[in-house]
Amino acid sequence: MAHPKKSFGRRGFSAYRLWTQIPSIEVSFLPDLLMFAAGLALFYGVLVVGRTWLGPFTPEVEISRNPWALPAYAGYSLLRMTIAYVLSLVFTLVYGYVAAYNPRAERFMIPLLDVLQSIPVLSFLPGVMLAMVALFPGRQLGVEAGAILLIFTGQVWNMAFSFYASLKSIPSEMREAAKVYRFSWWQRFIQMELPFSVIGLVWNSMMSVAGGWFFLMACEMFVLGSRDFRLPGLGSYLQTAASAGDTRSILWGIATMVTVIVLIDQFVWRPVIAWAEKFKIEQVESTNAPRSWVLNLIRRSHGLASLRKRTLTPLSERLMLHFSHAEAEDDSKEQTVWKTWLVRLVGSAVLAGMGYGVVRVAMVLSGLQPAELRQAGMGLLATFGRVNLALLLGALWTIPAGVAIGFNPRLARIAQPLAQIAASVPATALFPVVLLLLIRMGGGLGVGSIVLLLLGTQWYILFNVIAGAMAIPTDLKECCLVFRLEGLQRWRKLILPGIFPYLVTGMITASGGAWNASIVAEYFQFKGHIYTTTGLGATISQATDAGNFDLLLASTMIMAATVVTINRLVWRRLYALAETRFRLEM
């Protein structure tokens, strides 16, 4: 081939050189262009939503079953889910950190977390919605804030448990190294504690978002006494379609939700999983690490790299210096006395509020009828049996499946999005089909409620087992290959001890989630008919529909007391075992 300069001359060669450089210029700036377009789209969406939310309250919004309305509904639901997740993440980091490092606070905070995760979404509904509507009177923002907080109550608890458990299981060598190098609390948090817990936090975040989709139908469309609250979104669309028995609209809604979940998986979770792989504690690099094309695109972005270099890096360094100086000056006696009095003041206020709440609850419960108490007691026994059966059935398949996915990144790339979709699709949207099949087969809602509990809670176990299997160091896996540990020996010596802390977290959150899901599993409305079975969840749903707040409060307290008792007698002891015997030491 002739030389370009000889063929085209000086000007031709310059044009040729410029032409050959154009593709490389486009490729290098493509990530920046995509980020800029995404930022513009996000800004426009915030403006549109802000104008709607700050507008006057719209009672009884008409939910259209036209498929063309689904993109807008999906955008509204995704925004609520995102805000709720950000709130959940902030709550998780603060709550889990304080509970893990303050023994006095831990005695109260962990039982309180047990209580809060056992309270169903519908039990939060009256207080949350009335408070938000009163806080923003006459504004749409009040109802939107109430729905976001309800989604928050369906997302946050397993994340908080996961972060707390990770902090309690940090190896002693890492803590000693932090002391030797005199890390401030901020340095420990950024360079040791958060990186160590990030894998479990990522997978529990995925489960939390899936749980938010599961309860979306109850959070976007509900009846509170004589008031009907509806918000435009995928949850209200599916609820409207399910109540009307419109199978075509249900399928359209589920297809839209699946599309959104797949896009979130590709643009959010896959990059985060690939990024979190670098925080894995191991001395041998994994040969088959997760990858993400989106993460590779972000890493090639010159604009984001420049932004990080000019803003995030200097800000991080200033925070490091600030907290290091603050901790060095924090040893004075006056500071200690001031903190002691502040803790006493806050503690006294909390105790006073708890005392007032106990008195008010006692006054409310005194008005209950004996028949209502018997109904709640019988429902407790029935729901207790269904919850434990669902946990057993879920654990039988999620443990081996989760280990297989966690040990094989190629399988994880296929199975993880499918698990995300299966965990996110509201089982209540599919329940009409399941219920009709069970009725034809001679079953009923008694069996159907177990199926619905299983569909809603088994994913907590699966995602935690996947996180535990992925966190097992590669060098330990290679040791098993060297010593030829296979089959049952491999499970006893490596897999079960490695995933045990994550498995306990998954079982705790699955147990709480099963009790929570009983409100939709034992009481179901379809084509104007109400299908119900004996259970505490059905009692709570009936009390909510009837506006019987006395029975609602009593049933919620019974459920919370049962879950806390189980956690104290069973799960908490397993947590202690995970912290001592199955901690990963170096």
**Tens digit of each residue's pLDDT (9 = 90 or more) over 473-519:** 877 888 888 888 787 888 888 888 888 888 888 888 788 778 877 87
- The contacts of residue 326 (CB under 8 Å, 6+ apart) are 184
Tokens 């609520």 sit on residue: 80
Count Cβ atoms below 10 Å from residue 218 Cβ, excluding itself. Answer: 24
Q: What is the C-alpha to C-alpha distance for residues 543 and 286, in angstroms, rounded to an integer?
A: 54
Instruction: Give the whole-angstrom CA distance, residue 397 versus residue 380.
Output: 27
Instruction: Output the CA torsion sign for 113, 208, 270, 502.
Output: positive
- Tell me which residue of 125, 117, 123 sits closest to 148, measured CA to CA: 125
Reported as type and span, the H/E element at residue 495 is none
pLDDT at residue 5 is higher than 50 = no
* Mean pLDDT value of segment 42-62: 67
Tokens at residue 61, please? 């919004």
Residue 150: closest CA among 527, 459, 505, 544: 544
Half-sphere exposure of 387 (CA within 13 A, CB side): 27
Looking at residue 26, what is its pLDDT?
42
Q: Which two tokens stand for residue 9?
A: 């001359």
Query: Contact at 8 Å (CB) between 159 and 201?
Result: yes
Residue 61: Cβ-neighbour burial (10 angstroms; 0-12, 13-18, 19+):
middle
575 neighbors 163 (Cβ within 8 angstroms): no
Closest CA to 461 of 378, 548, 390: 390
Domains within the chain, CATH numbers bracketed: 54-288+371-580 (1.10.3720.10)
- Kindly state the DSSP code that residue 399 receives in the 8-state scheme: H
In one letter, which amino acid is 47? L
> For residue range 236-259, what is the model confidence (pLDDT) as tens digits?
888 788 777 777 888 888 888 888
Residue 549: helix, strand or coil by DSSP?
helix
Q: Among the listed ranges 64-73, 323-332, 419-428, which one has the minimum average pLDDT value? A: 323-332
Q: What does R_g of the chain's alpha carbons equal in angstroms?
A: 27
**pLDDT-based confidence at 396, cuts 50/70/90?**
very high
Question: Cβ–Cβ contacts within 10 Å for residue 281, how many?
Answer: 16
Query: In the predicted model, is pLDDT for residue 160 greater than 60?
Result: yes
Q: Tell me the pLDDT of the chain averaged across its residues.
A: 76
Q: What's 449-501 look like in SS3?
A: HHHHHHHHHHHHHHHHHHHHHHHCCHHHHHHHHHCCCCCHHHHHHHHHHHHHH
Structure tokens at 482: 């060297």
For residue 471, CA distances in Å to 364, 446, 482, 514 come to 48, 39, 20, 26
For residue 133, the 8-state DSSP code is: H
- Per DSSP, 138 falls in state T
pLDDT at 313 over 70: yes
Q: What is the pLDDT of residues 107-119, one digit of tens each?
A: 888 878 877 776 7
Give the model's pLDDT for residue 87: 92
Residue 426 backbone class (left: φ over 0; alpha: ψ -120 to 50; beta: rest): beta
Distance CA(234)–CA(26), nearest Å, equals 38
C-beta of residue 383 within 8 angstroms of C-beta of residue 261: no
532 secondary structure, DSSP code: E
Tell me which residue of 398, 334, 374 sits closest to 551, measured CA to CA. Answer: 374
Is the distance from CB of 165 to CB of 578 less than 8 angstroms?
Answer: yes
247/527 Cα distance (integer angstroms): 12
Tell me how far the alpha carbon of residue 512 is from its chain's centroid. Answer: 13
If you count them, how many residues does the chain have? Answer: 586
Give dist(CA 98, CA 79) in Å, integer. Answer: 29
Q: What is residue 399's predicted lDDT score, i.e. its pLDDT?
A: 92
Cα→Cα distances 107→23, 102, 103, 572, Å: 62, 9, 7, 12
The stretch 454-479 carries a mean pLDDT of 83
| 41-45, 291-295, 316-320: range with lowest mean pLDDT | 41-45
Question: Which whole number is the average pLDDT over 440-451?
Answer: 71
Q: What's the pLDDT band for 271 if we cut at 50, 70, 90?
A: confident
In order of 9, 55, 219, the CA distances from 137 in angstroms are 76, 11, 20
3 state SS for 190-237? HHHHHHHHHHHHHHHHHHHHHHHHHCHHHHHEEEECCEEEECCCHHHH
Backbone angles phi, psi at 56, to 5 degrees: -70, 155
Q: Which of the pair, 162 or 10, is modelled with greater confidence?
A: 162
The pLDDT of residue 75? 86
For residues 192 and 174, the answer to whether their CB atoms sit within 8 Å is yes
* Contact assessment for residue 261 and residue 74, using Cβ atoms and an 8 Å cutoff: no
Instruction: For residue 103, give both structure tokens.
Output: 């023994």
Over residues 79-95, the mean pLDDT reads 91
CA distance 533 to 449: 8
